[in-house]
Amino acid sequence: MKTLTRLSALMLFLIVPVLSFAQTWVEYEWEEYSTEFKIPSDFEVTESSSEKFSATNGAILMSIYPRTDESLTWEEMENSLRTWTTENEVLVSGDIVELDEEKMNGYWGVLLEGTKNDYNVGTMLIVDPDFTDISLYIWVAYDADQVDTVLEMLMSFTPM
């Protein structure tokens, strides 16, 4: 009985901190571009128009720039993302990462990492293979301790 009580106390001790640090999320639907995604509930939306969605919490800034009528193929996505990233003066620090379509909820995706003005920057381009006329260019600048939240945000994009 003592062992069971100790085990229960240990589990409670381990679970309570996890629950207190659990991130709460807000879901957004962008019907015009047939996508939905999540951002942390402490984010403030600074712009939401047909040309751009942008939100921040001070530690992370995410902006989405949709383009229509690009009709990119999988092969063209790498060059398009690299061009967009370097035009925005990001110092690229690695190779393009091809994202797993299953983990990206059905999107084709590529990702580049780098820095700009001492901030970590991730740029991502996603395309729904069923609607290749819509491309979503995603910019995320973030503090180094925010990597897990950034990854969860980027992996939350889901075609509608």
| HSE-CB for 40 with a 13 A CA cutoff | 18
| 150 Ramachandran zone, left/alpha/beta (phi>0; psi -120 to 50) | alpha
The residue behind tokens 């063209």 is: 76
Q: pLDDT tens across 12-70, in order?
A: 444 444 444 567 999 999 999 999 999 999 999 999 999 999 999 999 999 999 999 89
Q: How far apart are CA 85 and CA 114, in angstroms?
A: 9
**Token digits of residue 11:** 């589990």
CATH of the domain at 129: 3.40.1000.10
Q: Closest by alpha carbon to 38, among 15, 64, 13?
A: 64
Q: Is residue 151 part of a domain?
A: yes
φ/ψ of residue 25, rounded to 5:
-125, 155
Q: pLDDT tens across 95-107, in order?
A: 999 999 999 999 9
Angle made by CA atoms 150, 153, 157, in degrees to the nearest 5: 145
pTM score of the predicted model: 0.84
Q: Is residue 69 part of a domain?
A: yes
Residue 154's domain spans which residues? 23-159
| Residues of the chain above pLDDT 90, percent | 78
Q: Is residue 27 part of a domain?
A: yes
Computed over every residue of the chain, the mean pLDDT equals 88
Tell me, what's the pLDDT at 21? 54
Q: Which helix (H) or strand (E) holds 14?
A: helix 2-20
Q: How far is CA 41 from the centre of its chain?
A: 15
Q: How far apart are CA 58 and CA 144, in angstroms?
A: 13
Q: Is residue 17 part of a domain?
A: no
Q: Is residue 76 part of a domain?
A: yes
Domain count, the chain: 1
- Which DSSP symbol is given to 69? S
Longest dimension (CA), the chain: 67
Q: Is residue 7 part of a domain?
A: no
Q: Is residue 133 part of a domain?
A: yes
One-letter identity of residue 45: V
Whether the pLDDT of residue 83 is over 80: the answer is yes
